[in-house]
Amino acid sequence: MEAEIKSHQAEIDAENKRKQAEIDAEIKREQAQIDAQLAIEKANIERETKLQIAQMNIQSDHEIEEMKGYVELQKAAMNPPSPAMTSDVEGDFKSDAPKKKTRKKVSIKTPSGKIYEATIGDDESSENEQ
């Protein structure tokens, strides 16, 4: 009888070990699946982050180019009129004809396609000097 009990106990122990091995294998499979899902999610987050950074860099580059165009426009507005324009106007001052203002239209197109325009002309102080 004692031999039967030991034999039965050995069967139960073997069954428990087999079930424990199955449970351990299932846990390992589930952990591997979770790890794979985490790796995919991490890759997606990294891809989205890189995409957003690239979009911000492109936007920043466009804004920089627009600012450069605006600065060039402001520089052109601050420059004195060209010698050809000045000599043409001097001829008008020497005659008795009424004085007319000179104007020059300047337009600059930025790489992003935005166009800045300005008009350069005589101001009140130059009229009063003559």
Helix (H) or strand (E) holding 106: strand 103-109
Sign of CA dihedral 88, 94, 95, 97: positive
The string of DSSP letters for 17-41 reads: HHHHHHHHHHHHHHHHHHHHHHHHH
Pick the more confident residue, 61 or 108: 61
Residues of the domain holding 98: 2-129
Q: What is the pTM assigned to this prediction?
A: 0.43
User: Model confidence over 57-67: pLDDT tens digits?
Assistant: 999 999 999 99
User: Model confidence over 84-102: pLDDT tens digits?
Assistant: 777 766 666 665 555 566 7
Count of domains observed in the chain: 1
Pick the more confident residue, 100 or 80: 80
Give the model's pLDDT for residue 123.
60
The stretch 23-36 carries a mean pLDDT of 97
